[in-house]
Amino acid sequence: MRSLPALLACVFAAAVSGQVYKWTDSNGKTHYGDSPPEGTQTQQIKVDVRSYEGPAQVVDWAAIIRKKSPASAPSRSQSITMYSTSWCPHCKRARAYFAAHGIAYEDIDVEANEGNSARFKELGGGGVPLIIVGDKAMRGFDPGRMDALLKKS
């Protein structure tokens, strides 16, 4: 009898893991969801990238790629690259932050093609967004930490 709650929890977890579907409405707008409307042609999407959960982390990027950090700090004009997905709420917050502050950056959708996905995995993957600023990397997104990171740049 004690194993019944555990069994029910496993069955419930399997049921809620679900699938993601993609469909286009009559106006040509693309939608994503866990249950498409009846009578629409859908495409089942395989989601193998997760949003980064937990507090945003800023790490020395050079340590990640096993190279020495450059002696000088990166300049503010140094490029910013964000590895993201279209559905990630943390990625959307980061995009809004960059737009509000007029910050140019390259946004690479890791689900758009195999090359983007492979590069993301080479960089450690693990969850989106992954934001690269000079020799630093931020996993997740936090406006205060991004402010501090950019002030150092």
pLDDT, one tens digit per residue, over 131-149 is: 999 888 999 999 999 999 8
User: How much is the pLDDT for 48?
Assistant: 64
Tokens 């699938």 found at: 19
Tokens of 109: 């959708």
Evaluate if residue 45 carries a pLDDT over 60.
yes
Q: What are phi and psi of 107, to 5 degrees?
A: -105, 115
Do 95 and 128 belong to one domain? yes
**CA–CA–CA angle 60, 62, 66 (5° rounding):** 125
List, for residues 56-98, the tens digit of each pLDDT value: 777 775 555 554 334 333 444 568 999 999 999 999 999 999 9
User: How much is the pLDDT for 126?
Assistant: 83
Do 89 and 39 belong to one domain? no
Range of the domain at 33: 3-45
pTM beyond 0.85: the answer is no
| Closest by CA position to 84, among listed 118, 106, 102, 107 | 107
Structurally, the chain folds into a number of domains equal to: 2
Identify the CATH number of the domain in which residue 132 sits: 3.40.30.10
